[in-house]
């Protein structure tokens, strides 16, 4: 038996023991892992002393196998993997409930769960112990109990429930709703419909998972458990091969709700034809309302389910879902999404005479919390983004506008045209994409050396939505990889003097991206890669693909997947370690869903990389901050016992809502228009500043006089880490300073810069409370001085830009002026571990952060100018109770319309 098999056997045996410890004690300590590993190391040493040639030890499932010994590096990776998998912290989610007072909202946990045998959920939990840590399963159990309490009780006469569950992208929403539907089946729900996205691959993947963990078809999955009883097997009217079709199920003998004691499950695509088939079949068999309980789980519910028409004539899929819910006298609808903005903008009062109420989650919203081993947006795009982000160079990409400015010359041969049409011809790929391919190939070798042989490996290439372009990309990548296969096989086990340029290119990628992350030499990785490089597949994933992407259970799959929409929503790429992403979408919810790189990377997170443009990195950073603020508001609403309706109001009033929903609202062209915005609990800063010399000089003079004034008038001042902090500064001083500061003049609503200057100024008129002020000290050799106040300037890189019709500007790199969590300077050591969104609700005053800057050209690294930038942190919870209302004039209205018009709707389908 090879060492890798030994490693896996020992790992499974220890993991099983740890699962049992959790089951008995309810928790797992670090010492449990350390003690288990120590005991096994000692046991194996003793066995080796008895017979140096082989060991015979009892492995998992009482298997007796000849195994190799493990070296110290093996034990190191074993311990590391067990820690990442088992020492997991996860909290139960956040629940806000609707106003209905007459419903029993503990019917499940206090009554029905105690009375029923929990057959389906017990099977799910027992089987899932093979794949998920017990602490995670415990939280899934608690989360779904809370959700069940807010569904309708099947024993009631009638109900119509609308709810929403919010989870992070690729964080385990399927595991959550699988547990939910198992509990619904235990509670007596007779008909369960899972709407699993609009693509075949996502529906098929969801179907396969639910067959495994709920249905137990063909004695697989839960069907292999000794507790499985075929008499209780759910009836599944769809399969991996077939979506729901009326003619395929009409003759099914077990589809009668009255005579079939077991639940009926269907997993369908979110397309009109499938919903038509389902409604037609139900209407044929049940002309009137069906008095049975139905659960509808709408996965990726922000996509296509939302009515974007007027209520008199809803969009087709929205209408069909509402028809389905109206068909049953007892119906619970649960929308699952990672990007809830569109769902929350649904009109909560919307009602249609034929289709009933819209899909606004009026009864409950439940926000799941990800385990701390989740590899999400905060890890990738947060404070340590340099670990995981590889920036695609600007000189490798081109926008359509750049092309037009080159007097019509086609530069596509030199740069990749981000916005392109289906007839776009690709003669080559960006060098950074070849580097990403190199990185992926090296990752396969590294994971194998880390005893992860047999684990799947994937790379995502997502740079177009057009099938014709995908085919070209596949050809170019395949041509490159085929050359690498030949060279790696030829030179992979030879000494350095024999290497050709392709092998040296692999070494360059290793030294640049991986050398500091792993303990292996390039030579050892290359030698391992030489044994497996022949297994690499390059597959384009779209409706016209000749071969489908399939992860086999009997061997390792190593694949470079090229696609657009088919890979952008819900679909899971197994063992994804490298993503190359260039898209031009401006919709933040769509953008976040495209991030297939989020998820769990147990044992190999340190080698994962995301290749993106600087512009895309900015957008992901923004959506991360906006989502964090959103969840903070949700948590505060739970504390204040507010409702989903209040939450919808809070989101609409959030200062970033204009950016998120502008395209949907661009028809609002009234001559005068009021906009409500709630700044409380938010952070805003000047990511753009004017580069007019007069503006810069006036701001420098203004800062000097302002500092002198508050230094002389404010009693509470302290110096913290060389920065100046003034507390309880008079409101008048802040209002005067902000009113005179020369902001970048062409973005009053903050559509580009995320700084709604007009709203902040109005806020200062309406709110007369005191402020705190921080003048940050930086690391520049140059200083800012105002009387006895002296700080080193903050050094920042900026890009120099120019509007087509307006003046120029400086834009801070990554649109960031402040470092992360700047509010901590005000709170002391007690709050040093708090996130900014957790500090703002408990701050006494809003805060003005002032930055005396030394600006450096990001391209040339040359000094540009001294300048002043501002950041605003607004205290409070942002629960929508009091918003600032501003009247926008015709100039602002035109700005809003032009921005909306620039957000050309990128249709969410692939070119055929």
CATH number for the domain that contains residue 234: 3.40.50.300
pLDDT over 70 percentage in the chain? 86
Q: For residues 79 and 153, state if they share a domain.
A: no
Tell me which of 333 and 2 has the higher pLDDT: 333
> What's the pLDDT score for residue 399?
62
- For residue 860 the two structure tokens come to 């040339």
Q: For residues 448 and 507, state if they share a domain.
A: yes
Q: For residues 384 and 348, state if they share a domain.
A: no
pLDDT over 90 percentage in the chain? 43
401 pLDDT band, cuts 50/70/90, is very low
Q: For residues 79 and 145, state if they share a domain.
A: no
Q: For residues 354 and 206, state if they share a domain.
A: yes
Q: How far apart are CA 895 and CA 749, in angstroms?
A: 8
514: CATH = 3.40.50
Return all residues near 504 (Cβ < 8 A) that are at least 6 apart.
Answer: none
> What's the pLDDT score for residue 254?
59
Does 626 reside within a domain?
A: no
The predicted-structure confidence for 647-665, as pLDDT tens digits, reads as follows: 777 777 777 776 654 344 4
Q: For residues 557 and 591, state if they share a domain.
A: yes
Does 204 reside within a domain?
A: yes
Does 361 reside within a domain?
A: yes
Q: For residues 164 and 36, state if they share a domain.
A: no
Q: Which of 284-288, 546-550, 787-791 has the lowest mean pLDDT?
A: 546-550
656 by DSSP, 3-state: which?
A: coil
* Domain end position, chosen among 367, 387, 420: 367
Q: Distance between alpha carbon 757 and the CA centroid of its chain, in Å? A: 29
In our burial notation (b when 16+ CB lie closer than 10 A, e otherwise), range 680-710 reads bbbbbbbbbbbbeeebbeebeebbbebbebb
Tell me which of 5 and 815 has the higher pLDDT: 5
Helix-strand-coil percent breakdown of the chain, rounded to 5? 45, 20, 35
Q: For residues 790 and 690, state if they share a domain.
A: yes
The predicted-structure confidence for 578-599, as pLDDT tens digits, reads as follows: 999 887 665 666 666 666 677 7
* Domain end position, chosen among 315, 348, 367: 367
Total count of domains within the chain: 4
DSSP letter at 108? Answer: I
Q: How far apart are CA 680 and CA 653, in angstroms?
A: 10
Does 235 reside within a domain?
A: yes
Q: For residues 811 and 848, state if they share a domain.
A: yes
- In this structure, the number of other CB atoms found within 10 A of the CB of residue 625 comes to 21
Q: For residues 528 and 487, state if they share a domain.
A: yes
Does 690 reside within a domain?
A: yes
Which range of residues forms the domain containing residue 122?
94-367
Tell me which H or E stretch contains 250. Answer: none
Q: For residues 351 and 380, state if they share a domain.
A: no
Does 212 reside within a domain?
A: yes
The arithmetic mean of pLDDT across residues 350-355, rounded, is 84
Return all residues near 690 (Cβ < 8 A) that are at least 6 apart.
Answer: 696, 742, 743, 744, 745, 807, 808, 809, 810
Q: How many angstroms separate the first and last alpha carbons of the chain?
A: 49
- In this structure, the number of other CB atoms found within 10 A of the CB of residue 770 comes to 17
71-75, 496-500, 626-630, 885-889: range with highest mean pLDDT: 496-500
Return all residues near 256 (Cβ < 8 A) that are at least 6 apart.
Answer: 285
> What's the pLDDT score for residue 91?
82
Closest-CA residue to 582 (of 406, 442, 426): 426
52 pLDDT band, cuts 50/70/90, is low
27-36, 457-466, 726-735, 806-815: range with highest mean pLDDT: 726-735
Indicate the Cα dihedral angle 380, 385, 386, 391, nearest 10°.
80
> What's the pLDDT score for residue 901?
52
68 pLDDT band, cuts 50/70/90, is low
Q: For residues 256 and 391, state if they share a domain.
A: no
Does 653 reside within a domain?
A: no
Does 227 reside within a domain?
A: yes
Mean pLDDT across the chain: 84
* Domain end position, chosen among 26, 55, 86: 86
């Amino acid at each position: 038996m090879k060492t890798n098999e030994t490693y896996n056997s020992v790992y499974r045996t220890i993991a099983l023991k740890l699962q049992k410890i959790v089951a008995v004690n309810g928790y797992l300590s670090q010492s449990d892992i350390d003690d288990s590993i120590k005991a096994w190391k000692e046991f194996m040493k003793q066995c080796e002393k008895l017979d140096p040639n082989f060991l015979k030890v009892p492995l998992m499932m009482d298997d007796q196998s000849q195994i190799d010994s493990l070296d110290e590096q093996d034990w190191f990776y074993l311990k590391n993997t067990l820690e990442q998998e088992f020492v997991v912290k996860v909290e139960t989610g956040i629940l806000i409930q609707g106003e209905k007072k007459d419903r029993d909202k503990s019917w499940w946990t206090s009554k029905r769960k105690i009375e029923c045998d929990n057959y389906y959920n017990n099977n799910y939990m027992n089987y899932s112990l093979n794949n998920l840590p017990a602490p995670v399963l415990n939280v899934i159990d608690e989360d779904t109990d809370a959700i069940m309490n807010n569904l309708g009780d099947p024993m009631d006469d009638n109900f119509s429930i609308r709810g929403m569950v919010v989870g992070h992208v690729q964080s385990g929403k399927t595991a959550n709703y699988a547990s939910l539907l198992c509990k619904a089946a235990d509670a007596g729900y007779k008909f369960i419909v899972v709407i699993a996205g609009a693509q075949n691959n996502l529906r098929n993947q969801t179907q396969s998972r639910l067959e495994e963990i709920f249905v137990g078809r063909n004695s697989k999955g839960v069907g292999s458990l000794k507790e499985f009883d075929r008499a209780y097997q759910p009836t599944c009217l769809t399969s991996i091969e077939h979506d729901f079709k009326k003619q395929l199920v009409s003759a099914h003998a077990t589809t009668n709700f009255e005579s079939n004691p077991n639940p009926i499950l269907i997993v369908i695509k979110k397309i009109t034809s499938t919903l038509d088939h389902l409604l037609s079949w139900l209407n044929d068999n049940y002309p009137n309302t069906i008095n049975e309980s139905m659960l509808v789980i709408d996965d990726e519910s922000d996509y296509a389910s939302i009515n974007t028409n007027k209520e008199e004539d809803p969009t087709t899929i929205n209408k069909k879902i509402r028809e389905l819910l109206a068909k049953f006298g007892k119906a619970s609808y649960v929308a699952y999404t990672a990007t809830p903005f569109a769902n929350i903008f649904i009109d909560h009062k919307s009602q249609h005479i034929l289709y009933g109420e819209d899909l606004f989650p009026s009864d409950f919203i439940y926000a799941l919390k990800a385990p701390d081993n989740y590899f999400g947006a905060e890890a990738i795009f947060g404070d340590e983004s340099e670990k995981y982000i590889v920036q695609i160079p600007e000189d490798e990409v081109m926008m359509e506008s750049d092309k037009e400015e080159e007097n019509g010359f086609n530069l596509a041969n030199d740069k990749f045209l981000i916005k392109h049409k289906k007839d776009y011809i690709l003669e080559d790929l960006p060098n950074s994409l070849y580097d990403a391919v190199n990185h992926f190939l090296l990752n396969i070798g590294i994971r194998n050396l880390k005893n992860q042989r047999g684990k799947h490996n994937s790379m995502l290439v997502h740079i177009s939505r057009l099938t014709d372009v995908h085919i070209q990309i596949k050809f170019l990548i395949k041509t490159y990889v085929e050359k690498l296969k030949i060279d790696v096989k030829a030179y992979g086990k030879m000494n350095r003097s024999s290497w050709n340029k392709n092998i040296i290119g692999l070494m360059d990628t290793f030294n640049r991206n991986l050398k500091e992350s792993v303990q292996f030499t390039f030579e050892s990785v290359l030698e391992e890669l030489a044994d497996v490089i022949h297994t690499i597949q390059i597959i384009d994933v779209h409706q016209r693909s000749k071969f489908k992407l399939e992860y086999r259970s009997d061997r390792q799959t190593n694949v470079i997947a090229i696609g657009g929409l088919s890979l952008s929503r819900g679909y899971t790429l197994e063992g994804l370690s490298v993503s190359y992403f260039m898209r031009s979408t401006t919709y933040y919810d769509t953008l976040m869903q495209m991030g297939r790189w989020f998820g769990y990377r147990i044992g190999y997170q340190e080698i994962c990389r995301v290749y993106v443009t600087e512009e895309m990195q900015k957008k992901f950073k923004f959506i991360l901050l906006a989502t964090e603020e959103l969840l903070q508001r949700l948590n505060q609403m739970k504390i204040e016992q507010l409702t989903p309706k209040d939450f919808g109001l809070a989101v609409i009033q959030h200062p970033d809502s204009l950016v998120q929903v502008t395209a949907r609202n661009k028809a609002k062209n009234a001559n005068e228009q009021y906009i409500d915005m709630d700044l409380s609990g938010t952070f805003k800063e000047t990511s753009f500043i004017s580069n007019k010399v007069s503006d810069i000089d006036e701001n420098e003079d203004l800062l000097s006089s302002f500092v002198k004034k508050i230094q002389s008038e404010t009693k509470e001042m302290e110096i913290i880490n060389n920065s100046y902090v003034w507390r309880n500064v008079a409101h008048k001083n802040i209002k005067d300073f902000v009113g005179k500061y020369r902001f970048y003049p062409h973005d009053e609503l903050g559509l580009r810069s995320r700084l709604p200057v007009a709203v902040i100024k109005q806020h200062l008129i309406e709110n007369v409370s005191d402020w705190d002020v921080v003048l940050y000290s930086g690391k520049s050799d140059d200083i800012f001085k105002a009387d006895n106040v002296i700080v080193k300037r903050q050094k920042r890189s900026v890009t120099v830009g120019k509007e087509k019709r307006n003046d120029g500007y400086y834009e801070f790199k990554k649109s960031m002026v402040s470092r992360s969590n700047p509010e901590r300077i005000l709170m002391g050591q007690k709050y040093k571990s708090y996130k900014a969104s957790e500090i703002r609700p408990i701050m006494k005053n809003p805060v003005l952060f002032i930055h005396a800057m030394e600006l450096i050209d990001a391209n040339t690294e040359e000094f540009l100018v001294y300048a002043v930038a501002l950041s605003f942190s607004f205290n409070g919870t942002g629960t929508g109770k009091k918003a600032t209302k501003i009247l926008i004039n015709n100039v602002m209205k035109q700005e809003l319309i032009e921005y909306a018009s620039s957000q050309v709707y990128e249709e969410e389908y692939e070119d055929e």
